[in-house]
A and B are shown apart, each in its own frame.
Chain A
């Protein structure tokens, strides 16, 4: 299957700091998604990106579809304790089958 590499694997940050994470693929994708998984829950969709170069925000979250179509980036500004969780990227070339990254675990220290 497709390999999606997310980095970093984990982050420990102080409340109020900004966060950046990224996802890279060996193949091009036509859709990139970012999910957040709270402890003990299923992943929830945060942001969807459909065009190379697209920049989309959802509150304090901003994601970008890389111009090469092989990468995507997620930024969180002014982190708060409820940002804790695992963030997954997912890519789609065609059809319905998304491929998921291995996740970035975020810990926010009050």
Chain B
């Protein structure tokens, strides 16, 4: 039982490059979300999905896109990376109000 799997664990991008952060869960959870974690800022919600085919914006969605074609996968796309997007990104999933299971994170640096 893998839980929530995020890839890659580390990534360095140049300003303007695009990339996709992958997230997959094997728990058949309907709800999935992406957070970014910055020092002193806690966890801020980027985008979330309540089920396949449904996505919505969170607190800090600008510069990011998501899609949810299957229950298992919820990729996060950076369209044109900026230094302000240097952060640690966490994917999480849940079923009902039972709390989130988090992945181990992707540490992204934009230079």
Contact = CB atoms under 8 A, between A and B. Distances in A.
Is the contact region of chain A dominated by helix, strand, or loop, or is it mixed? Answer: loop
Contacts of B35: 100
Interface string B75-107: 000000000000000101010111111111100
Interface stretch (B14-22, B37-45, B63-71): B37-45
A56 B104 CA distance: 26
A32 to B, nearest CB: 10
Contacts of A1: 45, 58-59
Contacts of A100: 35, 42-43
Contacts of A43: 43, 90, 100, 102
Residues of B in contact with A, size category:
20 to 34
B45 to A, nearest CB: 7
B31 interface: yes
A106 interface: no
Contacts of A92: 97
Contact of B98 (A41, A48, A94, A101): A48
Nearest to A30: B97
Interface residues of A, number: 25
Contacts of A95: 50, 97
A102 B43 CA distance: 7
A97 B42 contact: no
Given A31-B99, A42-B90, A97-B48, 9 more contacts: A1-B59, A41-B105, A88-B43, A96-B30, A96-B48, A96-B94, A97-B33, A98-B94, A102-B42
